[in-house]
Amino acid sequence: MEHFIHIVLHYLKEIIPALAIGFFISGLVHEFIPEDIVLKYLGAKGIKPILYSTLIGTFLPVCCWGTLPIAVSFYKKGARLGPILSFLIATPATSISALLVAYSVLGLQFTAYIFFAVIVMGVVVGLIGNTIKYTPKGLKEEDICPHCKLDSSHIHTHKKTPFQRVISILKYAYIELPKEIGVELFLGLILAALVSTFVPIGRLIRLYLSGWLSYIFSVIFGIIMYICSTATVPLVDSLIKQGMNPGAGMTLLLIGPVTSYGTLLVLRKEFGMKVLTIFLVSLTVISLLLGLGFQVLQGNSLRADEPALSNVKEVNLEAFQYGFSPDPLVIKKGEDVKLVITSRDVTHGVHIKEYNINVAAKKGETSYAEFLPGKAGEFEIICSIYCGSGHNSMKGKLIVKE
Amino acid sequence: MKDKRIIVALLLTALFVIKIPQEGWRFIFWVLGGVSFSAMLDFFINKVIFKKVILPKSAVITGFIVSGVLDHHQDWLILILFCALAIISKHIIKFKGHHIFNPANFGLFFAALFKLPLTWKIESNIFLIIVVGLYLAYFYKKLFHVAGFLLFFITLSSVVAINAFAIISWFFIFIMLIEPKTSGYGIVRGFVFGSIAGTASFLLFRFIPTIDFFVTALFIANAFNPILEKIKR
């Protein structure tokens, strides 16, 4: 329990400064970039409205639930489907506060990639959406502006004094926004702390979520569950620290905030099954590809500067054309092992299927793979990256002794 | 033999048989499973969707390549998944009525993206591959594809002091790169296609070696097919 509280406090310490700044900037954006401006740019034809809606959506501090009524009203006012879908993706997928929290928790590389990925996702799905023919629904009672009783499809604003603006910014930043995402944020933190604290969860993640299965988990979990973009960050951080594939973590970061089971139902009701299917399929494919792209960029190995655990035994393994040294590699069952992998010549891949290890060994670099040999026996080590004409015969043996 | 696909299938069978003593029973079932599944799926798609009855010779080759390159220790579901992806891509991703991606390579590219090990077991005898491959490249008029690839891959590798011959896959060059339908015809087109594949292979090997550089490079070169079609033969 103590460890659990310690982790919750650690995350709070990490994210509270970022949240405070992020919420304030979100309040400014909310006050000075009103919805009518967004609408002005969504109605036009071509790729420009898609770009506008994606970029605006990237910074707007609205969750997937908050995005829905806006998108529905745009839809009823006759905006093209492409910009609407871009908006539906880019807006909940990230926000200023989410980007700041991501920077403080996950670092610059993750944050820059999220920003880039959300734009790619929004633009691609928008372009797909523009190819679909559909008829917008008519205007209803609720489309009348509550302040001036004008048809809200006409772009208009309500004047405020500077004092009213300051109050409005602060109210949105520190009352409405925390009310909107506070519960999810808290749940996200609790989930993150649980993942980090519970040893069995960590084991499960290392066993099943370090490979390609993690992508399936991310897609299903991300589509069904709702976690806001800011709350997803600590959860993904803890999953990755427990051994989840970073690419799948990125997929979860991208898809998780965009949809939930509830939003899917609303989408189906408002936009129809065809649009929902296209939205979901394209969102899934693109977020998977972007996750894989991130994994490729990161490489599959642990970082060289990662600190070694004190009770882990380090074992050297050298790959060369076309074999491994030592061969056989002998280790003891039940003893945590850290493979220190190097390459003598070209890039090789060290793959041990039974222990879910697949690490690239680049020449001049050191890669690491940690695992707990729980099963005694003889296992094959194969090279998983093409390294020359003898690649097909390159193998070694791992012996795990009782 | 008029249909050279039979020669390709015979070459692949020979390469498969050569590898059997080293790899054992699972390898036999793995490759035969991949070949049968690909052939049946292609036959089924042609019969049910396109109402055509065609002997699935290309699908047999696709099945051989996918199962022969993919690590045979993986789950059976993985074999089925990537063979299916290869065959389905041929029927779905089309440009001006014909497919642009080498089907086997398409499946393998996604396998590589999913970090599945590509062991290239089917590349069991490079001498046999080079001899038969040269004949196939000559017959299919694809020698310029090979020349473009080798020129760019070897030259660029030499610039950074890498011995290209130590890492070249002759199976890739003579079986996958020169696949008749997806590599374009004509001297200039062929040379440009080979050059793109060669350059991409080098760049991937140099900068992103964690992904299978040959498979990814061919995927990239295939993606250029719609543009390459604008080049006069």
Domain limits for position B155: 132-228
- Do B15 and B105 lie in one domain? The reply is yes
Q: What domain count does chain B have?
A: 2
Average of pLDDT values for B101-124? 90
Q: What is the mean pLDDT of chain A?
A: 74
pLDDT digits (tens, 9 = 90+) for B9-55: 999 999 999 999 989 899 999 999 999 999 999 999 998 888 888 89
Select the residue of A215, A347, A392 nearest B124 (Cβ to Cβ).
A392
- Do A208 and A263 lie in one domain? The reply is yes
- Which tokens belong to B167? 């890492």
- Do A90 and A134 lie in one domain? The reply is yes
Q: How many angstroms separate the Cα of A352 from the Cα of each of B114, B129, B216?
A: 16, 29, 23
d(CA B143, CA B173): 10
Residue B68 lies in a domain: yes
pLDDT digits (tens, 9 = 90+) for A140-153: 444 455 455 555 44
Among A248, A264, A298, which residue terminates a domain?
A298
pLDDT at residue A203, rounded to an integer: 59
Average of pLDDT values for A33-53? 67
pLDDT at residue A106, rounded to an integer: 78
Poorest-confidence range of A33-37, A98-102, A326-330? Answer: A33-37
- Do B164 and B109 lie in one domain? The reply is no
Select the residue of A347, A351, A380 nearest B209 (Cβ to Cβ).
A347
Domain limits for position A209: 2-298
Shortest distance, CA A376 to any CA of chain B (angstroms): 19
Asked whether B221 and B172 are in contact (CB, 8 A), the reply is: no
- Do A214 and A346 lie in one domain? The reply is no
Residue B147 lies in a domain: yes
- Do A104 and A61 lie in one domain? The reply is yes
What predicted TM-score, i.e. pTM, was given to this entire model?
Answer: 0.56
Q: Which residues contact A67 (CB under 8 A, 6 or more apart)?
A: A57, A87, A88, A91, A92
Between A100 and A155, the higher pLDDT residue: A100
- Do B106 and B136 lie in one domain? The reply is no
Average of pLDDT values for A196-209? 60
- Which tokens belong to B183? 């590599």
Assign A20 a pLDDT band (cuts: 50, 70, 90): low
The string of DSSP codes covering B204-216 is HHHH-TTS-HHHH
Q: Chain B interface, mutation test: which of A385, A394, A395, A397, most B Cβ atoms within 10 Å?
A: A385
d(CA A344, CA A333): 28
Check B114 against A321: CB less than 8 A apart.
no
- Do B9 and B106 lie in one domain? The reply is yes
pLDDT digits (tens, 9 = 90+) for B49-74: 888 888 999 999 999 999 999 999 88
Any idea how long chain B is? 233
Residue B124 lies in a domain: no
- Do B21 and B108 lie in one domain? The reply is yes
Residue B198 lies in a domain: yes
pLDDT digits (tens, 9 = 90+) for A343-361: 988 889 899 888 878 888 8
pLDDT at residue A103, rounded to an integer: 77
d(CA A192, CA A249): 13
- Do A319 and A292 lie in one domain? The reply is no
Q: What domain count does chain A have?
A: 2
- Residue A227 corresponds to which amino acid? I
Average of pLDDT values for A284-295? 86
User: By three-state DSSP, how is residue A212 classified?
Assistant: coil
d(CA B117, CA B71): 6
Q: Which residues of B touch A384 (CB under 8 A)?
A: 71, 115-119
Residue B217 lies in a domain: yes
Residue B17 lies in a domain: yes
| Tokens 């993942």 found at | A195
- Do A287 and A329 lie in one domain? The reply is no
- Do A330 and A186 lie in one domain? The reply is no
- Do A293 and A362 lie in one domain? The reply is no
